[in-house]
Amino acid sequence: MHAEANSRVKVLFICIGNSCRSPMAEAIARQDAADVIEAASAGLSPFGAVASLTKRTLEANGYSAQGLDSKPLAPALWDAADLVINMSGRAREQAFHAWEKVEDWRVEDPYGADAGQYQRIFGEIERRIRELAEKLRRQRETPQG
């Protein structure tokens, strides 16, 4: 996967309920990596709403929760993605039929946990997105060929 000079990589973040981990990742990527990532999120079994602690954790860390919603993994979302980040806890080979563009991230599900757990998981997701963005920026600077 190579990011062209002015293009962004379409990254789809997936978890189970699209209520905690994947919306967090979407919000962080939108703010911190907008130059290289076009972020979206979805759930394998969407909860239907983004958890209030997800929104509070994002806002407490200076991120907007605006526009985040819990939605299913629609074929159009999958097809549009260049890279799928799987935080569902299921191995990509088990969770998806076509998994070549899927990268597994082992991220604990904070649903039902306390604010401290949400904050810890937020920090982990933020770090991983920073690493992904740095990798994509390096790829953009190094012409492939």
User: 114 CB contacts (<8 Å, ≥6 apart)?
Assistant: none
Q: What digits encode the pLDDT tens for the residues 6-43?
A: 689 999 999 999 999 999 999 999 999 999 999 999 99
Summarised one tens digit per residue, pLDDT across range 40-82 is: 999 999 999 999 999 999 999 999 999 999 999 999 999 999 9
Class of 9-141 in CATH: alpha beta
The domain segmentation of the chain, as residue ranges, is 9-141
**Distance between CA 83 and CA 105 in Å, rounded?**
12
Q: pTM to 2 decimals?
A: 0.93
Evaluate whether 86 touches 104 at the Cβ level (below 8 Å).
yes
Q: What are the E-state strand segments in the chain?
A: 9-15, 37-43, 83-86, 102-104
